[in-house]
């Protein structure tokens, strides 16, 4: 989901939907992340008429799966930029340009809210999480998922570790993201807001030249390479050495972890 910042907009400078190749990067993200996400969502006891909200919907892969899960329900696919969603034709799908930080949605509107790779990028993530919880209907589910870079720190590959950390530093400096501690704190933020039936899942995929996680992180780093160098997080040579890992058929390492937490609003 593109996020504004003080430097002309996260979407325009780093990973926004207006940038060339962003649709391909989002497709790689879906390939890498959707299977683990859907393994949890498909197991939740959603009623056929559930009202669902997908925040930061991107290409809409999760939103479309929710339409299939809830054949009598409705799905709202929300993003700051909906260009990859606008062509989706389904009368039960409501595509909305929406800023989750300022949107005024009625309390109790949704039976499921899904937000992946969103909260960690928002400096006011604690306040936004409270807003999401407030939009849940009694008994409704909230599913949040964010990246944590802790597996990278133990990588035996210096070039890979250096580039990944440089990308992390660049996003943190430009956007205010917390890709270390926020997701690592799950599920505590959900428990603190009174959610019940709380669960936790950590997925850490392999990075190879052709694995879904390898393709995702290569595309992401290629798009921010100039910002990495311009911001001084790594030299041009370090960036190229790190990217060479993703093209090496003999290279294997761990991707950053995707940490998911989910919980249910009290029924009364």
97, 117 Cβ separation under 8 angstroms? no
Q: Please, what is the angle between helix 212-230 and helix 22-41, to 10°?
A: 130
Task: Name residues of the chain where pLDDT drops below 70.
Answer: 1-20, 87-88
According to DSSP, the β-strands at 93-97 and 206-207 are unpaired
pLDDT score recorded for residue 1: 39
pLDDT score recorded for residue 13: 58
pLDDT score recorded for residue 103: 93
pTM of the model: 0.92
Cβ neighbours for 84, distance < 8 A, ≥ 6 positions apart: 17, 23, 26, 58, 59, 60
pLDDT score recorded for residue 61: 95
pLDDT score recorded for residue 236: 98
The values of phi and psi at residue 187, to 5°, are: -95, 15
pLDDT score recorded for residue 8: 36
């Amino acid at each position: 989901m593109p996020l504004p910042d003080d430097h002309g907009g996260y979407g325009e400078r780093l990973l926004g939907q207006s940038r060339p190749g962003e649709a391909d990067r989002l497709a790689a993200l879906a390939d890498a992340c959707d299977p683990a996400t859907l393994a949890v969502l498909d197991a939740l006891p959603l009623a056929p008429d559930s009202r669902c909200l997908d925040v930061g919907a991107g290409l809409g892969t999760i939103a479309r799966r929710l339409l299939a899960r809830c054949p009598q329900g409705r799905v709202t696919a929300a993003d700051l930029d909906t260009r990859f969603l606008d062509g989706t034709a389904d009368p039960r799908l409501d595509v909305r340009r929406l800023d989750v930080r300022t949107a005024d949605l009625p309390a109790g509107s949704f039976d499921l809210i899904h937000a992946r790779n969103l909260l960690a990028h928002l400096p006011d993530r604690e306040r936004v999480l409270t807003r999401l919880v407030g939009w849940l209907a009694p008994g409704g589910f909230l599913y949040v998922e964010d990246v944590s870079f802790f597996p990278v720190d133990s990588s035996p590959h210096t070039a890979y570790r250096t580039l990944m950390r440089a990308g992390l530093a660049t996003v943190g400096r430009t956007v205010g993201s917390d890709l270390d501690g926020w997701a690592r704190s799950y599920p505590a933020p959900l428990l603190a807001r009174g959610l019940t039936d709380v669960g936790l899942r950590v997925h850490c995929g392999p990075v190879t030249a052709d694995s879904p996680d390898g393709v995702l992180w290569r595309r992401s780093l290629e798009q921010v390479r100039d910002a990495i160098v311009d911001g001084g997080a790594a030299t041009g040579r370090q960036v190229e050495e790190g990217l060479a890992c993703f093209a090496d058929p003999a290279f294997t390492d761990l991707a950053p972890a995707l940490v998911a937490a989910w919980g249910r609003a009290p029924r009364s």
